[in-house]
Structure 1
Amino acid sequence: MKGILYLEDGTIYKGKGFGKIGTTVGELVFNTSMTGYQEILTDPSYAGQIITMTYPLIGNYGINKEENESSKIFAKGFVVKSISDNPSNYLSENTIDNMLKDMGVVGVYDIDTRSITKKIRKSGALKCVISNEDLSIDELKKYIKENELKGDWMKEVGTKEIIHIPGKGERVAVLDFGIKRNIIRNLKHYDCDITIFPYGSSYEEIIEAKPAGVFLSNGPGNPKEAVEGIETVKKLVGKLPIFGICMGHQILALALGGDTYKMKFGHRGGNHGVYDKETDKAYITAQNHGYAVDGKSVEEKDMIITHVNLNDGTVEGMRHSKLPIFSVQFHPEGAPGPGDSAYLFDKFINQIKEEM
């Protein structure tokens, strides 16, 4: 089965197809993780995007039900150098090819992923179309022009109803912008009494649950599109301890009156160095984001920058100078990636206890 990738700038990459037979358009991004392809594919933060893996061999240890970070694949497509049809792992239950077929996701392999990554680093994230339907170049050009990229995926990827997970510990309200399961696992580790609220939940609905703290989750898309979420967080500021991760970090910045901006190609992978200014320590972190917080804009709103990226100096964490509010751009829960910064969940729980 033939496969092809066509970029909006006219660049063409030819290879072979796998997964669902079809054609799809999305924002082409790259991830530098060497393992964790299943968690990456099922991370809701990739909604609307076509993922290129820089590591050359994908699928070698198979697929299993336990490693999914959500109920399905929200990414639009998957681009890799090489796939394995004979995975070797005692937990393996499926192949990467069958997983994409089962979840209706188009894949292309035998593509020069190194060239694609270098192009994205130079030009920025690009709109592209991938197909394994043997379409002509003219058909691909027409397809990419007729299909626009959506902005607000947060309304689609999160829960549609309030979910309560009982626990004997602190009561935590989770605002779901596209949360990963491993974040919930981390909160359950502390035996938190968790209530997960859908995107667009009001301040009144959240307060009615009588939480002792609020968690703002990760999620896909442009944080400025989350108008309802930003307004809700504005009302929560000063009322309860708040901890935000990734999209939650960006939404918190906007709710406080700060600003965010689209990065050239973002940070995606499990090997990003972050410096914690307050502990004078560096951590390797997992990341997945295409937007960042404008540091100067939040410093003017009583926020202190606590973490910075060691590669480009972008804001990776902040805390309020007076209120029990903090957030990070990276993923302390990993999955995939290191758990070096899991101490941040301790910090959140301790802040809740101090405020009670």
Structure 2
Amino acid sequence: MSTLSNVFPEDEFITLPHKSSVRIAVKWLPAKAPSPSVTLTRDDILVVCLNGLMTTMASWADVANQVIRQLPKNHNVSLLCYDRYGQGSTTDHDPKDAQAEDPSHGHDLTDAVRDVHALVAYFSGVDSSASTAAQKPPRLILVGNSIGCAIARLYAQTYPGRVAGLLLLDAIIANANLATDVFPDPDDPSFDPSKEPDGVKPQDLRKMRTIMKRVFDPEVGNKEGLSRRNLRELLPYSDQPKLVGWPATKSTQSSHGPYITVVNHGLEEFARQAVAQNGIDATLTLVYMNPFWWKYHEGLVKITDEERAKGVIEAVGAGHFIQKERPDLVKDELIDMIEKVETLSTEWLLS
């Protein structure tokens, strides 16, 4: 049972300066008592949770509850969850959607990244248009699930030196089409069933590819209007570029990367859920999908310094929505990251 009411206040609806015609729903849990004059500084930590396409900010309820209970009384950690435009409690859509030929592809991840930046500025009390050095913003930890991981990565690339930590939970495979790149095509003339692992049936492959195309093809839109058409172009590699973490030095080339922890779904549980949802033999998930996804995650741990990377960790017993099914694991990894981020020097060197 969700413990959302024990931690978060009621939904708060705010307006961001760059999209003043629409409101966005948030749940804001500040370390300090709310005040119009509160400004988060580089001594503070701001955790922002980024949903997938099929979940809302409510999915972080139990994680937040457990994290807050474990933090010391006078902690410096503020937590923000929100529903993107057109998602969950945010019934207003991104203004771009109304002008789009296809509203289900009305905006993309670059728009979502700008929204995160505006939210960080709004709740930390800093000017999003000012330089990083001038603002001395808080240490930012982004916790993402699914497409939320892609938003987190793209944010860290777009705003080097801003992100101190990334906790990536079953990241969307941004550089692949699950309909065509993971499962072999049994109707391809070169397909040889004798070369496939035992238990793989052409009819099951055909059915799986059909399901993947119907649900996960980048051309498939969504009610939120967040398009995945250009996702491969935005994030073409799992293992690059290297990210610049908080705080950056004058030369970003000599800067450390952020702390990164990568968590993969539970291999057996994910296969079990695939059978329950699609009626397809678990062999296909175990043989094709799981190794493909794990390899992608192995790339993600390479986008920071080796000593700041952790993973790949298997969330045993969890499917894709790890924060809902293993909040205890996510809590442990987030607390671990908070403790690491707290040790970072507060000397700001970026000019």
Shorter-chain TM-score: what band? 0.3 to 0.5
Work out which structure has the larger RCO, using CA pairs closer than 8 Å and 6 or more positions apart in sequence.
2
**TM-score in terms of structure 1 length:** 0.34
Give the number of the structure whose residues are more often strand, by fraction: 1
